[in-house]
Every structure is written in C-alpha cells, then in structure tokens.
C-alpha cells in the first residue's frame, strides 16, 4: 500500500468516530424527569417516543434523551431537575408527574417544560391560562382531580348500600392531595356518605394503609391521581384482592392489572401528546403560545373477572356504559 493511501485510510478511521461524536453533540437533548419507577412506565415512555417520532424526532438518530427517575422519592426531584438544567437540555418533559413538573419549574424559568398533570395547571401556578400559558411551561391537563366526584358517583352506583368510602392519597404531593381530598369530601357530602382519608407515600405505607382500611371497615376506596400509585399499581390491586376491597381507579392500567374498575382519560395518549409538544418546541415553537391540551374522551373499564371474584354483580347500567369489559 502506498504511503498516501495509508494516510488517507488512517485519517478516515480517525475522522469517523470523531464525526459521530460531533453529530451526537449537535443533537438536541431532552431531559425526561419523573417521580416514579422506570419499570412501571415502559409502555408509556414508548408512547412518548411515538409522539416524538410523529414530530420528526427519533431517539439516538436526531435527538438524545436524559432520563431521571426519582424512584418514588419526591425529595430527590429538585436535585434531579437541577442536574438536567446543568446539562443544558433543550426541553424538560415531566409526563404524569406533578411533583416533577413543580421541581422543574423551580429549577428553571427559561428552559421549556412540557408537563402532563392531574392538577389544575393554572391553580398550581404552572401557567397563566390554558389558552395562553405565558411562561416556559405547557402540556396536558387530564383534569384527574376534578374527576374525583365522577369516580365516587360511579362507585356509589356500583355499591349503593356502601356507607363508608375511603380515599387513599400521597401526603408528599400536596398539589394533588389537597384538592382531591376537598373534592372527595364535597362529593361524599352530596350523597350522604363519609369519606375516610388514608395516607401512603411508600411501599410499606401502602401495606399499612390497607390495614387501616380494614380496621375502619371501609366498604370501598378510591385513590388520588398520583404517580406513586401508578408505579405501585400491582401492589394496590393485589392488596385490594387479598382484602376483598372494591376500588375505582383513575387509569385503565389498574383494571388491566386486575383492579375492579377504572375511569379516566388515556394515559398513553397523553404521554404521546407530550412527545408531540416536545418535538414542536424543538422545531422552534414557544411554550408560552402553545395551549394546554385537555382530554376529549374518558373511558370506563370494568374487570368482570375481578367483580366475580369479589362476589359483585355489575349493574347493567354500568356495563352498558363501559368502554371495555375485561372478561
């Protein structure tokens, strides 16, 4: 081989990895911040990536993603958010994690934030208004807290003789817990029923909470729309089955895991929507001018197998309105 050819080949071999690194360095970086556990959100992260791809971005090809999971320890979120800011991410996305959204909002006023929250984004200070957010944050509101009364009404329709209902909430997430408890108490008073509030913020707390539910003789319970409970959904439905405690959950993932009933918007579609919004921001749109999206469809899912195990006959009026019945 001639010396000139050898030098040319050697230069190409060196340039190739350098070029690859340079290309990676020029890719926009997304910071993905969540309060929960990654294993519990695999299909939802896939939905987020689908939304990104619909906007023209594919992870590893023309965009990189830095994932930060707080492992259900909300006190870790501020530092995780600060770390993403230090890494100079182009946008921070916080789907289905109000605590993560607030941590990101506290860490930066300039980096765009795309959220999905069950709380009212105006009331908790994320945006100025739904139509014109006006700051560095926008996203999706699933009105999960406001649906509390509707869920209690469905549970009351299922169990009209039930006298004592309970609400399981996470005390470490006050922006979800406080309005949810108020919603439950108002709704309970409207139907002449008492609402027992039970708290849990860890795996062991959830175990203890079911002991409290049994001790207080709760006839049925609901949970607040909290990322902690989505992460611990298998534990929750397992304990509910063990103690034969009917519950109505806020996500279909609970009914699919063996929960009795669920009513709410489609979480996977909302993760996809956050991906679409992130892509639009990467292309130059401003979050201040991007309206907060609201769900247009809510689905009632009934697990008939679980109902039979509990010895519950589902009223025909509920079955007729169900979007899906799991046999």
What per-residue confidence (pLDDT) applies to 152? 97
Asked if 202 contacts 173 with a C-beta cutoff of 8 angstroms, the reply is no
Q: Which residue bears the tokens 């230090």?
A: 86
Q: Which value, to the nearest 10 degrees, does the dihedral of the CA atoms of residues 162, 310, 233, 215 take?
A: 50
Q: Residue 13 above 90 pLDDT?
A: no
Residue 4 has pLDDT above 90, yes or no: no
pLDDT at 207: 98
Residue 8 has pLDDT above 50, yes or no: no
**Alpha-carbon span 274 to 271, nearest angstrom:** 5
Report pLDDT for 25: 56
Segment 38-46 long-range contacts (CB within 8 Å, at least 24 positions apart): 38/67, 38/69, 40/230, 40/231, 40/232, 40/233, 41/96, 41/230, 41/231, 43/268, 44/95, 44/96, 44/267, 44/268, 44/271, 45/271
pTM of the model: 0.86
Name the average pLDDT for the chain. Answer: 93
Give the residue from 143, 96, 83 showing the smallest Cα distance to 270.
96
Evaluate if residue 181 carries a pLDDT over 90: yes
Q: Tell me: pLDDT of 210 over 50.
A: yes
Q: Which residue in this structure is represented by tokens 């993905």?
A: 32
Q: Which residues pair with 176 in a beta bridge?
A: none
Over residues 280-293, the pLDDT tens digits come to 999 999 999 999 99
289 contacts: CB under 8 Å, gap ≥ 6: 132, 133
Residue among 203, 258, 204 at smallest CA distance from 231:
203
DSSP 3-state assignment of 122?
Answer: coil
User: What percent of the chain clears pLDDT 70, i.e. is strictly above it?
Assistant: 92
Name the token pair of 202: 């860890």
**Which range (14-28, 51-65, 168-182, 211-225) has the least confidence?**
14-28
Buried residues in 165-191 as b, exposed as e (16+ CB within 10 A): bbbbbbebbebbbebbbebbeebbeee
pLDDT of res. 20: 47
pLDDT at 26: 82
Give the pLDDT band of residue 296 (cuts 50, 70, 90). Answer: confident
Q: What is the mean pLDDT of residues 100-128?
A: 97
Strand (E) or helix (H) holding 107:
helix 98-107
| CB contact at 8 A, 127 and 133 | yes
- How do residues 80-90 score in pLDDT, each as one tens digit? 999 999 999 99
Q: Is the confidence at residue 24, as pLDDT, over 60?
A: no
Q: CA nearest 145: which of 102, 105, 177, 104?
A: 177
Instruction: Enter the DSSP assignment of 248.
Output: E
- Output the pLDDT for position 187: 96
CA distances 40 to 15, 143, 260, 305, Å, are 41, 22, 19, 23
Quick one: pLDDT band at residue 165, thresholds 50, 70, 90? very high
| Model confidence at 1: pLDDT above 80 | no
């Amino acid at each position: 081989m001639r010396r000139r050819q050898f030098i040319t080949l050697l230069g190409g071999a060196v340039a190739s990895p350098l070029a690859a690194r340079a290309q990676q360095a020029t890719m926009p970086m997304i910071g993905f911040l969540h309060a929960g556990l990654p294993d519990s959100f695999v299909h939802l992260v896939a939905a987020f990536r689908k939304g990104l791809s619909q906007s023209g971005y594919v992870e590893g090809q023309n965009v990189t993603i830095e994932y930060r999971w707080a492992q259900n320890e909300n006190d870790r979120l501020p530092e995780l958010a600060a770390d993403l800011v230090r890494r100079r991410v182009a946008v921070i996305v916080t789907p289905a994690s109000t605590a993560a959204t607030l941590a990101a909002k506290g860490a930066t006023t300039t980096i765009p934030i795309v959220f999905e929250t069950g709380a009212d984004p105006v009331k908790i200070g994320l945006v100025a208004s739904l139509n014109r957010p006006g700051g560095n944050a926008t996203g999706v509101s699933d009105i999960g807290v406001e649906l509390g009364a509707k869920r209690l009404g469905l549970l009351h329709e299922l169990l009209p003789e039930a006298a004592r209902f309970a609400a399981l909430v996470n005390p470490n997430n006050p922006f979800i817990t406080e309005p949810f408890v108020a919603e439950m108490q108002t709704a309970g008073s409207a139907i002449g029923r008492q609402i027992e509030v039970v708290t849990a913020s860890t795996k062991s707390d959830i175990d203890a909470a079911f002991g409290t539910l049994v001790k207080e003789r709760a006839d049925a319970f609901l949970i607040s729309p909290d990322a902690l409970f989505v992460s611990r959904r298998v534990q929750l439905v397992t304990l509910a089955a063990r103690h034969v405690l009917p519950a109505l959950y806020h996500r279909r993932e609970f009914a699919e895991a063996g929960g009795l009933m669920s009513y709410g918007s489609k979480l996977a579609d909302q993760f996809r929507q956050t991906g679409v919004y992130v892509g639009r921001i990467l292309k130059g749109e401003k979050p201040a001018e991007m309206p907060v999206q609201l769900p247009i469809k809510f689905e009632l899912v009934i697990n008939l197998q679980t109902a039979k195990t509990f010895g519950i006959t589902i009223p025909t009026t509920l079955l007729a309105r169900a979007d899906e019945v799991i046999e």
